[in-house]
A and B are shown apart, each in its own frame.
Chain A
Amino acid sequence: MHEMSIAMEVCRITREQVGDEGCGRVLEVGLEVGDESGIEADNLLFWLEILLAEPPFCGARPGLRRVPGDVLRVTHLEVEDGGPED
């Protein structure tokens, strides 16, 4: 029911890692969603697809993995490693 808030927090965590620059730099946002996390995975996916389509993500794909327990976390990001600072 609060999947949108969760999706927004996932975006915040992602921005914290990669910053606001580089439209399209993030390719995938990996998540683990526990069966008992109180989160409906399909609904979270729906919101993530909407939010990750917008800048600064510009089409990053959500990679949801369902796991047992009440885990709910961002596991990894896949980013294009093209910047001069990298």
Chain B
Amino acid sequence: MAVRRIEVRERVMARNDELAKEIRKRLAEAGVPSLNLVSSPGAGKTLLLERTLEALGRELALAVVTGDVQTENDANRLARHTDALVQAVVTGGGCHLDARQILTALEQVDLARTDLLLIENVGNLVCPASWDLGETAKVVVFSVPEGEDKPLKYPKMFREARYAVLNKIDLLPHLSFDLAQAVAYAREVNPGLRFFFTSAVTGEGLEEWLGFIRDLAAGEASA
């Protein structure tokens, strides 16, 4: 029997990327910038977002889509701090959010009355790097107890991100974490990364982060 060769040359991520393009178009039409927060589990994404909603939730219409593997704990925590809509996506074991889930979640968000969309991805530094969610930029959050070599261990994620938040800086006096080295490692894989140094627990360093969120929502940041 004859064997025929079909040339395909289709990128495996093509379908996700089409949906991401649709999201990007809708957000652009509504003038809504968006951040996709990625980190390993326990780096402090949810608390950072809680602090952000607490501080800015009254002056800005912040919509949040949060992905959790098995619970709605993060969404419940976030909903306590805002009247704005918090959309929970339970991935049922999936290690990342994809564009289809965001598109579905956005059906519940009134984009015309939204200043900024925050997406809290599933805690994982591998998978979410591969899925474009149509966001303006990715923010990689990592924390002092994780060690300074995170950027070298997960270079794809640090390359994909435009912003890095080093969280839990209140623990610096207690741990042997070399901050300059961490920044140097991160810049080695992505020289253009803009850094924020925060402690979501003590509030240290949050001003600069909140200022950035404010500027972004007002269309003044170059994200």
Q: Mark A residues whose CB is within 8 Å of B.
A: 1-2, 5-6, 9-10, 12-13, 17-18, 27, 30-31, 36-39, 70-82, 86
Contact A81 B12 (CB under 8 A): no
Whether B2 and A74, one on each chain, are in contact in the complex, defined by CB atoms closer than 8 angstroms, is no
Q: Kindly identify which residue among A2, A5, A13 contacts B8, using a CB–CB cutoff of 8 Å.
A: A13
Question: Are B11 and A73 in contact, CB atoms less than 8 angstroms apart?
Answer: yes
State whether B3 touches A81 (Cβ < 8 A). yes
Query: Which B positions have Cβ atoms within 8 angstroms of A?
Result: 1-15, 94-96, 124, 126-127, 129-130, 156
Asked whether A27 lies within 8 Å of B12 as measured between CB atoms, the reply is no
The 5 nearest A-B residue pairs measured at CB = A81-B4, A81-B2, A2-B127, A77-B6, A1-B126
**A5 proximity list for chain B (CB < 8 A):** 94
Contact indicator A73/B10 (Cβ below 8 Å): yes
Distance in Å from the Cβ of B132 to the closest Cβ of chain A?
12
Question: Which A residues are CB-close (under 8 A) to B9?
Answer: 73-76
Q: How far is the CA of A6 from the CA of B12 in the complex (A)?
A: 7
Are A2 and B96 in touch, CB under 8 angstroms?
yes
Complex A-B: 20 CB contacts under 8 Å: A10-B12, A17-B8, A18-B6, A30-B8, A37-B130, A38-B127, A38-B129, A38-B156, A39-B130, A72-B13, A73-B10, A76-B5, A78-B5, A79-B3, A79-B4, A79-B5, A80-B1, A80-B2, A81-B2, A82-B1
| Contact partners of B1 in chain A: CB under 8 A | 80-82
Residue of B10, B12, B126, B129 with most chain A CB atoms under a 10 A cut-off = B12
- Distance between A5 CB and nearest chain B CB, rounded to angstroms: 7
Neighbouring A residues of B12 by C-beta, 8 Å: 6, 9-10, 13, 31, 72-74
In the bound assembly, the distance between CA atoms of A15 and B181 in angstroms comes to: 48
* Docked pose: A74 CA to B12 CA in angstroms: 6
Asked if residues A38 and B3 are in contact (CB atoms below 8 Å), the reply is no
* Interchain nearest-CB distance for B60 vs A (Å): 33
> Would you call A17 and B6 a contact (CB within 8 A)?
yes
Whether A38 contacts B130 by the Cβ 8 Å rule is: yes
CB-CB < 8 A to B11: which residues of A? 71-73
A86 to B8 alpha-carbon distance, docked (Å): 17
A79 and B6 form a contact (CB under 8 A) = yes
Q: Can you add 20 more A-B contacts, CB < 8 Å, to A2-B95, A9-B13, A31-B12?
A: A1-B95, A2-B96, A2-B126, A2-B130, A9-B12, A13-B8, A13-B10, A38-B129, A38-B130, A72-B13, A73-B8, A73-B9, A73-B12, A74-B8, A74-B12, A76-B9, A78-B3, A80-B2, A80-B4, A86-B4
- Complex CA gap A40/B96 in Å reads 16
Q: Which of chain B's residues have a CB closer than 8 A to the CB of A36? A: 156
A77 touches B13 (CB 8 A): no
**Which B residues touch A9, using CB under 8 A?**
12-13, 15
